[in-house]
């Protein structure tokens, strides 16, 4: 394990003003995305769509890294045969890789999930490094509901996150640890706070037990939010306040950065909440860089603009550039709704 390399890559990923594009949809998930725009999920379409994102001119000003899926890490450009990894590297964007697999019901629990993929990870991690990846990501899912999350679920998922992180660092891949407390449901923001706090405490306890270098790792958490079906959802200022307090209680200062997931929020909600968190973080002073690792929050608009047509690639690229630009502005606490109005006018 090269701690210096891990630390340098972790810090580069959360460089000021930049964040991550999560383009790591599994084959099943990308099919659902394509189904929503009536486009067949062929390998050619997947390459064309993702290559459009990766080649968007100027996006590297706002995007430090891209999380890839196993298939994408191995693919070449449809335009000139260049490996897609090199397309990113040539722009100074760091390629990463999703290494977890599917989630399945947690045995002995009702309504909770555990993430598969730890078997064989040592060999896969070494191969991914050889293919050009420099960071990894593993997602654990925590559900709020009647009597859950349980200690069993939180502990089991935290242990897997720690094992994943240790194996990643062994291969000199900086791990992004993603314990996501889902916003599905009608729970209050206080219930989300409690579940998130308990989850993060256990995650960092397990990372310590497994000897993970915190300086060479990153956190990709949910924001502290009301459930999406809650009757009276908390506004962005309350989201920011509770999110910062929760992390101050649980996340060690040695961690270089926190990359928020959009987690089912709309483009606008994810951007407004990130902006409020950035302002709050600057006011109170926090030890971490706080940025974004968005999938749908960056891709929903370009996916609709593309629609599966080669004629729309430039339009889709412009939509992606705009979302990257305004999300990076929110990461700095400088986002305004006028930025959306200007794009609409254009």
Which residue numbers are catalytic? 178, 220
The tokens for 289 are 């860089």
Under 8 Å CB-to-CB from 211, ≥6 apart: which residues? Answer: 166
Specify the DSSP element, H or E, that contains 157: helix 151-170
Check: CB of residue 135 under 8 Å from CB of residue 176.
yes
First to last CA, the chain: 49
Nearest alpha carbon to residue 314 among 39, 48, 129, 42: 48
Q: By the 8 A CB rule, do 238 and 272 touch? A: no
Q: Residue 156, SS3?
A: helix
* Whether 135 contacts 9, CB under 8 Å: yes
Q: What is the DSSP letter of 59?
A: G
Q: Which residue has the tokens 């600057």?
A: 282
Residue 194: closest CA among 239, 219, 220, 224? 224
**DSSP class of residue 216?**
G
Quick one: 205 exposed, middle or buried, by C-beta within 10 A (0-12, 13-18, 19+)? middle
Rg (CA), the chain: 19
Beta-strand ranges (E) seen in 109-233 are 113-115, 135-142, 174-181, 218-219
């Amino acid at each position: 394990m090269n701690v210096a390399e891990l630390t340098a890559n972790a810090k580069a990923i959360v460089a000021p003003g930049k964040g991550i594009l999560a383009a790591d949809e599994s084959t099943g998930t990308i099919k659902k995305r394509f189904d929503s725009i009536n486009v067949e999920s062929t390998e050619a379409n997947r390459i064309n769509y993702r290559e459009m994102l990766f080649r968007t001119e100027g996006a590297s000003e706002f995007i430090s890294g891209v999380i890839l899926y196993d298939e994408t890490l191995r693919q070449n450009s449809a335009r000139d045969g260049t490996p897609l990894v090199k397309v990113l590297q040539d722009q100074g964007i760091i390629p990463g890789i999703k290494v977890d697999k599917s989630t399945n019901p947690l045995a002995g629990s009702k309504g909770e999930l555990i993430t598969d993929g730890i078997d064989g990870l040592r060999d896969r991690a070494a191969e991914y490094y050889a293919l050009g990846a420099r960071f990894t990501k593993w997602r654990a899912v925590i559900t709020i509901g009647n009597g859950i999350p349980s200690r069993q679920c939180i502990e089991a998922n935290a242990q897997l996150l720690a094992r994943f992180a240790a194996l990643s660092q062994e291969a000199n891949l900086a791990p992004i640890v993603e314990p996501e407390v889902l916003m599905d449901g009608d729970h209050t923001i206080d219930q989300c706070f409690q579940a998130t706090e308990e989850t993060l405490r256990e995650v960092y306890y397990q990372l310590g037990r497994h000897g993970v270098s915190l300086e060479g790792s990153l956190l990709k958490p949910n924001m502290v939010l009301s459930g999406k079906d809650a009757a009276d959802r908390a506004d962005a200022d309350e989201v920011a306040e509770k999110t910062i307090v929760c992390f101050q209680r649980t996340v060690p200062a040695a961690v270089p950065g926190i990359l928020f997931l959009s987690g089912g929020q709309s483009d606008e909600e994810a951007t407004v909440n990130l902006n409020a968190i950035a302002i709050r973080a600057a006011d109170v002073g926090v030890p971490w860089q706080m940025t974004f690792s968005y999938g749908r929050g960056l891709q929903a608009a370009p996916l609709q603009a593309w629609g599966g047509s080669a004629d729309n690639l430039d339009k889709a690229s412009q939509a992606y550039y705009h979302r990257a630009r305004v999300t990076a502005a929110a990461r700095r606490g400088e986002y305004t709704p006028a930025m959306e109005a200007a794009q609409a006018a254009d």
